[in-house]
Structure 1
Amino acid sequence: MAYIMDTNEEERTKGITVEVGRAHFETENTRFTILDAPGHKNYVPNMISGASQADVGVLVISARKGEFETGYEKGGQTREHVQLAKTLGVSKLVVVVNKMDDPTVGWSKERYDEIESKMVPFLKTSGYNVKKDVQFLPISGLMGFNIKSRLDKKVCGWWSGSCLFEILDSIEIPLRDSEGPLRMPIIDKYKDMGTVAMGKIECGSIHEGDNLLVMPNNASVKVLGIQCDENRTTRAGPGENVRVKLSGTEEDDIFAGFVLSSFANPISCVYEFNAQLQILELLDNVIFTVGYKAVLHIHAIVEECEIVELIEESDLKKKKKELDPKKKKPKKKPLFVKNNAVVVCRIQVNNLICIEKFSDFPQLGRFTLRTEGKTIAIGKVVALPPPKSSSFA
C-alpha cells in the first residue's frame, strides 16, 4: 500500500514517504481524500502541510517489538506527530496499531493493551479528549485485516470492535460555514490550459464564474472551472479538497501559502502579529527572548520569523489558584521564557503573509515554530495590526 501511495522514484527506492501523497476512496456514506503524510523526521515540514488540510488523523503505529518504542520515546516521531496534529487542528484521531500479524506480535492482546496504555496518557497531555475524540484499533495493513471489513474471529479472537472504514464513517466532522467569506489556502499550483490552484476550502464556497482575490498580491481572478476528486463540478463547499482553474493570474505569480478569498471580505495580510505561544522544548543552551529566530508554519505558509517583543507570560498554575482578580498585580514583561512556558509575544516576518485570528478562523490562526528540524513551540494568532498599518494600536 505504501508503494502505491509513494509515487516518486526516490520514495520507492528509499522506502520512505517524502511528499504528501493524495488518493481518494468512497464508502457508502462518505467521500474521503487521503493525505499520506511522511513519518520521517527529515520531512516533518511536508507532514505539517498535509496535516493542516486534514479533518481526521489516522496515526499508524507499529506493534513490532522496538518499533513502537523508537517512535514513542523522547524525541520520537510518534510524539511529535501527535503534538503537531493537535496544533494543526486535527481534533479527531484514529490510532491504528499496525503489523499485528507480525510473527513477533501474533495478534497479542497484551502487546496491543501495552501500546494503548502508554499512548493514552500522552494523548491526554497533548490536548486530546481520549474518550470522545480518539479511537484505537488493531490492523494488518499488509494483509488488509480490519480495514474494510471486521476481523475474523479465527484471525483474532479477542477483538470485537469496528473496522477502520466503519470508524471513519462514524466520525462527526465539525461543521464549517459555507455562507461565510471564502478562505482557501493554496498548497500548490500548475499550468493546464490556464492556471490551476490546489487547496482545501476552509470557509465559504466557490462557484464557477466567481470573481475572487488571490492574496496577498491582491490579484483579481475569475473561476473558470472546479475539480473535486478528479470530477468536474460547478460548486464546492468547505472541507473539500479542490483544484480551481483561474483566469487573470499567471502560475508564476501564485505561491504556496497564498489564499483565495472573497472580494467583499478579503483575508488579512500582515508583516507582524501577536500570538499566544506554548514553548515545548528549546534546543540546548538556547534562550527564548527578543531576537529569537525560527521557521513559522501556518496553514500552507513556511516563513522565517523573529520574536520582536515578549508581552506577557501566563502562569497556568497560579491562574487556577488565583481566586480574587482584584489582587492581581500588573505583570512585568518577561526578558525570556523557558520550556513549557505560555507567553504572548509579537512575531515579525519578512514577507507579507495571509493569516487570521484563531478566534475567527482557527485553521488560519494556529501555527508551529520549528528550528533545526525540531518543533519548539505551538501557538495561535490572538491579534492582528489594524489595516494599512504595520504596528498595533
Structure 2
Amino acid sequence: MIGGASQADIAILVISARKGEFETGFERGGQTREHTMLVKTVGVRNLIVLVNKMDDQTVNWDEARYREIEGKLSLYLKTCGFKSEKDTIFIPCSGRTGAMLIEHPGPKVVSWYTGPTFIEYLDRISSFDRNIDGCLRMPIVQRYKDMGVIVLGKIESGQVRVGDRCLIMPNRTRVEVTNIYYEDIETDSSVCGENVRLKLKNVEEEEISPGFVLCDMIHEPCHMGRAFDAQVAIIDCNSIITVGYSAILHLYTTVVKVELKKLISLIDRKTGNETKLSMPFIKQDQTAIVRFELSEPNATICIETYKDFSKLGRFILREDDHTVAVGQVLKINP
C-alpha cells in the first residue's frame, strides 16, 4: 500500500456510513486513521472521501449521519495536514447502486447534497505542475525480464527518450533506454507524472532492486547514503524510544531496516523551536531531530533531503505491521 501511495497524486478514502463500521475504522489504531496519515506522509496532494453505503437501511441517506462522519473526519484530516476546502472533498455515495459516483440520484433520494458526483469532481481537478525540464528521477518499483530487462516506475522529475544513456543509482550502473511503454503503448519519450515501463540494455535483472533510482547522465545523480538526520513525529508507540531502537523504514519504494543512533533534540509542536532533551528517550506525540543508520553493514540507499527532493525525503517507520512514526530527511551524513 505504501509503495503504491508514494506514486499517487490523488487518494480516494472509502468510508462506510453503516452504524458501527465507521467507528471501528476510525478509533485509535483503526485503518481509517493509519491510511489517511500514510497517504499524506508520502506526498498525496488531494483526498477524496467517499462516504459509502449511504443507502444502507441503518442510514437511508440520512444527512445527520453524513455530517457526523464529515465533522469527525475533517478534524483528523487537519491534524494530518490536509486543508479541508483546498485539498479534500466529501461525497456521499452508494457503491451498490452507483448513486453519486457517476450521476446524482435526484432530489427525492438526496435533496440535501448539491455538490459534484465522484466523476464530475475528478474531471474538475486542475493539472499538476510537473518539473519536466528538471533532472531525471524515476524510482524503480519493479523489474523483470522479457526479451531484455524491464523496469517499472513513475517519472517524478524530468523526461526520458529512447536512446538516452542513464545511471541506475546507487550502484552507478550505466544503461541505455531502448524502448518506452506508456499505458501499454510504445512511445519515443515520456515525461514526469507518467507511470512507464522502460526496456534497458547493459544491465541484468539481478543488478536492480526496488528502490533504485534511474537518473540522467547530464545532471548530478540522486544522493545515496546509509546514515541521515531527520525530523520524526511519533504517532503510535506504546513504549519509549531510545538509542538502539530499530524499525522498518519505508522511503518511496525502498524498504530497509534502520537503527536509531542518536537523539539530537526535541521540537516544540506549537512553536517549531528546538529544545534540549531532558530525558534520554522520545515517546508518543513527540517530535524530535534524530539520527538513523541502516542496520545492514555496507548497505546504501537512494535518499534526498526533503528540502531538495520531497519524494525521496519523506519516510515512514513501521513495526509489527503498524506505523510508529513519520519523518522528513534533513541531512545525509557521509
Give the secondary structure class of the aligned counterpart of 1:275: strand
Q: 1:288 aligns with which of 229, 241, 250?
A: 241
* Alpha-carbon spacing, 1:232–1:316, altered in 2? closer, same or farther (3 Å): same
Q: 1:364 aligns with which of 308, 312, 325?
A: 312
Moved more, 286-295 or 75-84: 286-295
Q: Where do residues 188-337 of structure 1 align in structure 2 (5 Å cutoff)?
A: 188-263=142-217, 264-282=219-237, 284=238, 286-317=239-270, 319=271, 331=276, 335-337=280-282
Q: Using the alignment, how far apart are the partners of 1:100 and 1:71 within structure 2?
A: 16
Give the secondary structure class of the aligned counterpart of 1:168: helix
| Residue number in structure 2 paired with 1:64 | 18
* Alpha-carbon spacing, 1:208–1:107, altered in 2? closer, same or farther (3 Å): same
| Residue number in structure 1 paired with 2:6 | 52
Give the secondary structure class of the aligned counterpart of 2:139: strand
Quote the offset at 1:104 in angstroms.
2.0
Quote the offset at 1:360 in angstroms.
1.0
Which stretches of structure 1, 4 residues or more, deviate above 4 A after TM superposition? Answer: none
Paired amino acid for 1:307: L
Paired amino acid for 1:344: I
- Alpha carbon RMSD of aligned pairs, Å? 1.7
Paired amino acid for 2:227: E
Q: Deviation string for 1:197-243 (max 9, x for gaps)?
A: 11111111111111111111211111111111112221111111111
Give the secondary structure class of the aligned counterpart of 2:71: helix
Give the secondary structure class of the aligned counterpart of 1:289: coil
Give the secondary structure class of the aligned counterpart of 2:38: helix
Q: Where do residues 147-226 of structure 1 align in structure 2 (5 Å cutoff)?
A: 147-226=101-180
Q: Which runs of 5+ in 1 are unaligned?
A: 1-46, 323-327
Kept in 2, the 8 Å contact 1:101–1:140? The answer is: yes
| Residue number in structure 1 paired with 2:76 | 122
Give the secondary structure class of the aligned counterpart of 1:78: helix
Q: Which runs of 5+ in 2 are unaligned?
A: none
Paired amino acid for 1:339: Q
Quote the offset at 1:194 in angstroms.
0.7
Instruction: Give identity over the alignment, percent.
Output: 45
Kept in 1, the 8 Å contact 2:143–2:205? The answer is: yes
Give the secondary structure class of the aligned counterpart of 1:311: strand
Paired amino acid for 2:224: C
Quote the offset at 1:314 in angstroms.
1.2
Quote the offset at 1:172 in angstroms.
3.0
Paired amino acid for 2:324: I
Higher RCO, Cα 8 Å, sep 6+: 2
Kept in 2, the 8 Å contact 1:313–1:334? The answer is: no
Question: TM-score under structure 2 normalisation?
Answer: 0.94
Q: Using the alignment, how far apart are the partners of 2:277 and 2:66 within structure 1?
A: 49
* Alpha-carbon spacing, 1:120–1:89, altered in 2? closer, same or farther (3 Å): same
